[in-house]
């Protein structure tokens, strides 16, 4: 059955990216289109490079009230179908058109307004879509509003799916903000509430027809550990499931990647990776003969980034001149400071780039030997999948999606390094194993080949989403 699917999200690569949400929303629709469907994506119009580099058509203009505020909005559509599906942006003057995606004092207002604008527009369509697929708390009030706000009566019976990319963030608002929502059946206030606050993610879990998260392993964890939502997941378990993320095999392809200096595939990976490693080590003053372990990601507690300075310090002290590290990412200031503080002690063996840099991340996947991900929470994790595709051994804490996608190299058909705790001991042991593996050239080559031949593309998972939509028609 061919369907029209509308994705609503705060991020979509390359229009706006903060984390993995953008990569998923940016690529899944393309694969859904290939399977014969029409997939469209709607995101806020931020002032990003992609916005200025692209051509846009105005497709709708409207207005709405949010509490006592009145807003005009415009829906624009990317003209050239650059992404392989239709991308729409919601422009709300003064509210969404900013440089960053999140981090403003009025984020609650911004994303509420975004969701209302989407529904104002959609409720005027002649032909309604077959399914609305919303992502994370910034879009999670949509199922409630479709079902309970009088103005969106026309949308009431369209099936809705909520995908949770990270249950740590729930979009909590105090009840004083409830009047932002267009008039709704006030008997149903309980749907918005969780523990006496207005909780958009909880509301989405209650109202969406299906709830998915981005790996089966993380789904299981949510029943016991979901930042206060445990009982809700237990109540709603029947509509919950995990679908593992895929990655965009066109964007993440070492054979065609224009960000890296030497393209390679499984057949010439040894030479290809060596050239990329040389360039990376030259750029960052590192010794290319040593195993290179990298970290790429936001420097936040969930990623256990606070462990990095100590873990790197210990490793470089214990294995003097035997290993090197490169860290890319930004986040919590204390972590950034600690990563900078150890720099002086290990020049030539350790370097950092405390920023977000998409191009450099590609160069690191291509040039590194190992990628460290000690995450405390990892709903799916995409970086380990990028690493596998680029022949870089993932060193992961076995949690959530990391557990579902990485098998330890000492187990049957394994290729990664797995450990149980985000502790200094476990990380130290994994670094030791990485150094030993690197010295065993034959095994290292074998593993590299095996990793690069795995298939973590979207085909299978895109089909699983379609099956889920079909079950709701
Ligand atoms: C979030 C999660 C990450 C997941 C990504 C895409 O960023 O933290 O684990 O891979 O969303 O679903």
**Along the 473 residues of the chain, how does pLDDT read in single tens digits?**
799 999 999 999 999 999 999 999 999 999 999 999 999 999 999 999 999 999 999 999 999 999 999 999 999 999 999 999 999 999 999 999 999 999 999 999 999 999 999 999 999 999 999 999 999 999 999 999 999 999 999 999 999 999 999 999 999 999 999 999 999 999 999 999 999 999 999 999 999 999 999 999 999 999 999 999 999 999 999 999 999 999 999 999 999 999 999 999 999 999 999 999 999 999 999 999 999 999 999 999 999 999 999 999 999 999 999 999 999 999 999 999 999 999 989 999 999 999 999 999 999 999 999 999 999 999 999 999 999 999 999 999 999 999 999 999 999 999 999 999 999 999 999 999 999 999 999 999 999 999 999 999 999 999 999 999 999 99
The C-alpha atoms of residue 346 and residue 340 are separated, in whole angstroms, by 11
**Is 19's C-beta closer than 6 angstroms to any atom of ligand 1?**
yes
Top mutation candidate among 162, 374, 378, 380 for ligand 1, by most atoms within 8 Å of CB: 380
Tokens of 197: 């606050």
Q: In terms of CATH architecture, what is 4-246+458-470?
A: 3-Layer(aba) Sandwich (3.40)
Kindly give, in sequence order, each residue whose CB lies less than 8 Å from that of residue 188, ignoring residues fewer than 6 positions away: 148
Integer Cα distance of 460 and 247 in angstroms: 11
CA distance 389 to 252: 7
Q: How far is CA 401 from the centre of its chain?
A: 12
CA 188/CA 147 separation, integer angstroms: 10
State how far the Cα of 43 lies from the Cα of 101, in Å rounded to an integer: 10
Q: How many Å lie between the centroid of ligand 1 and the Cα of residue 123?
A: 30
* Cβ of residue 374 lying under 6 Å from some atom of ligand 1: no
Going from N- to C-terminal start, the domains of the chain cover 4-246+458-470, 266-452
Determine if ligand 1 sits within 6 Å of the CB of residue 380. Answer: yes
Q: Let me know if the fold of 4-246+458-470 is the same as that of 266-452.
A: yes
Residue count of the chain? 473
Q: What's phi and psi for 262, nearest 5 deg?
A: -135, 120
* Whole-prediction pTM: 0.94
* Beta-bridge partners for 210: 161
* DSSP count for the chain of H helices, then E strands: 16, 17
Ligand 1 site, residue 382, Cβ cutoff 6 A:
yes
Residue 187: partners with Cβ closer than 8 Å, 6 or more residues away: none
CATH 3.30.365.10 correct for 266-452: no
The torsion angles phi and psi of 237, rounded to 5 degrees, stand at: -55, -30
């Amino acid at each position: 059955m061919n369907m029209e699917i509308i994705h609503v999200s705060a991020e979509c690569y390359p229009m706006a990216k903060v984390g993995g949400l953008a990569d998923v929303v940016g690529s899944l629709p393309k694969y859904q289109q290939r399977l014969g469907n029409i997939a469209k994506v709607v995101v806020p119009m931020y002032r990003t490079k992609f916005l200025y580099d692209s051509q846009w058509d105005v497709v709708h203009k409207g207005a709405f009230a949010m509490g006592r505020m009145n807003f005009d909005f415009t829906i624009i559509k990317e003209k050239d179908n650059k992404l392989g599906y239709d991308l729409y942006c919601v422009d709300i003057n003064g509210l969404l058109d900013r440089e960053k995606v999140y981090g403003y004092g009025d984020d609650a207002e911004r994303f509420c307004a975004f969701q209302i604008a989407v529904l104002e527009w959609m409720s005027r369509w002649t032909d309604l879509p077959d399914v609305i697929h919303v992502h994370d708390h910034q879009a999670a009030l949509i199922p409630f509003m479709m079902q309970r706000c009088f103005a969106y009566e026309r949308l009431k019976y369209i099936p809705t799916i909520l995908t949770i990319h990270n249950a740590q963030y729930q979009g909590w608002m105090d009840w004083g903000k409830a009047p932002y929502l267009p008039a709704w059946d006030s008997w149903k206030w309980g749907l918005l509430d969780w523990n006496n606050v207005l909780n958009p993610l909880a509301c989405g879990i209650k109202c969406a027809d299906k709830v998915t998260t981005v790996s089966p392993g993380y789904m299981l964890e949510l029943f016991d550990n979901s930042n206060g939502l445990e009982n809700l997941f237990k109540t709603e378990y029947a509509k919950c499931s995990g679908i593992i993320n895929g990655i965009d095999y066109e964007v993440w392809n070492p054979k065609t990647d224009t960000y890296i200096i030497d393209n390679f595939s499984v057949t010439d990976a040894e030479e290809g990776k060596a050239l990329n490693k040389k360039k990376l080590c030259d750029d960052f003053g590192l010794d290319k003969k040593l195993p290179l372990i990298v970290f790429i990601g936001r420097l936040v507690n969930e990623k256990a980034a606070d462990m990095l300075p100590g873990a790197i310090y210990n490793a470089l002290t214990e294995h003097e001149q035997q290993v090197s590290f490169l860290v890319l990412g930004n986040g919590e200031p204390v972590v950034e400071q600690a990563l900078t503080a150890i720099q002086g002690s290990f020049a030539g063996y350790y370097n950092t780039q405390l920023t977000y840099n998409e191009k450099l991340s590609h160069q690191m996947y291509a040039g590194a030997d190992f990628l460290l991900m000690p995450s405390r929470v990892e709903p799916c994790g995409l970086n380990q999948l990028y690493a596998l595709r680029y022949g870089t051994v993932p060193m992961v804490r076995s949690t959530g999606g990391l557990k579902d996608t990485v098998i330890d190299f000492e187990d049957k058909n394994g290729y990664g390094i797995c450990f149980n705790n985000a502790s200094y001991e476990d990380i130290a042991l994994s670094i030791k194993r990485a150094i030993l593996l690197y010295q065993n050239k034959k095994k290292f080559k074998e593993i590299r080949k095996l990793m690069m031949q795995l298939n973590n593309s979207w085909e299978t998972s895109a089909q699983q989403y379609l099956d889920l939509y079909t079950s709701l028609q």
